[in-house]
Amino acid sequence: MRLQSFIGGTPLLELTTLDIPRHVRIFAKLEFLNPGGSIKDRVVSYILDDAERRGILRSGSTIVENTSGNTGAAIAMLAAMRGYKAILTMPDKVSKEKQNALTAMGADVVVCLTSAPPDSPGHYVATARRVHAETPNSFMLNQYDNPLNAEAHFRSTGPEIWAALGKQISAFVASGSTGGTISGIGRYLRAKNPAIDIVLLDPLGSIYHKYFHQGVVDPGQIAPYHVEGVGEDHLAKCMDFSVLSDVLQFSDADAFATCHHLARSEGLLCGGSSGANVWGAIQLARRMKEPGSIVTVLPDNGVKYISKIYNDEWLVDHEMRPFRDPGTLVPKRDASFVPDKHLMPNL
């Protein structure tokens, strides 16, 4: 069997240590168990398969893409398997662990300033487009604007979630950057049950929250934040706002405190976007008046962020206190609560 055959079919785990109403359950799809370590394996394999079928990607090709790390890891893995070269551009806020993993698999990495304006030639997206234009026999996934990004989740992740929980699902909540995950899963779940709420989580400093609620992109609200792989400083065509019920904002501290809670209380060492997603699920659960289940995804693991999220010195340097007692930030249920069995389907 080829490594690619193990992409997808990830388990769905009930989180049982969260301070939420008793009539609400939260389930998390463990996407960090994909062979490349993240949810992006699904998208990259889907797009590369399509490009090969159409003859766009062929022997000797170079794959070029902008990435916050996880798409790059999936590209580096699959390029190594299939005999392609890979050139990846990324903002300098991406952890060293991610950068080193890409070079270890043979990819060339071009690091760009996170502070570069989205319309400047130094922005990591613009840099990838320039490298693509200058590199003969190259292929660019164009993950922000490629409809196959969301289609990958419509055809795989969404059906897996529905097969596991079906009519129990009240809401799906997730952060987003390209928008592929929430748009693809959201469309599928809404097609099955239009009453399901689809909620996007957006970091403070990103443009999506204001765009959804006011219909404007405000450059003045763009500000630095430290959670990787979420939010944006420009609109991605893959982000389907029509499928969204609401957009909630979160802070770095919200996401990272929840990461520490998941590590110490659930045994899940996750990345910042996972913390944001679970934080958002908690907020939604506390609003729900009727029994139901909320689903989210844990996009990647925390090993890539040991030098950041799980490093006390880094947290202090970035004006966040160490999360020594995450239970005070994301409280546990009372001691009398007896959780149901974890749901871990073999899909």
Catalytic residue numbers read 40
**Residue 111 buriedness (CB in 10 A; 0-12 / 13-18 / 19+):** middle
CA dist 64 and 28 (Å) reads 31
* Three-state SS at 175: strand
What is d(CA 255, CA 276) in angstroms, rounded to the nearest whole number?
A: 4
* Cα(236)–Cα(320) distance, integer angstroms: 30
Compute the Cα dihedral for 323, 115, 63, 97 and give only its sign: negative
What HEC string does 288-309 produce? CCCCEEEEEEECEEHHHHCCCC
314 closest CA partner among 272, 276, 262, 267: 272
In sequence order, what are the residues at sequence separation of 6 or more whose Cβ sits closer than 8 angstroms to the Cβ of residue 291? 23, 24
Say which residue the tokens 């913390």 belong to.
275
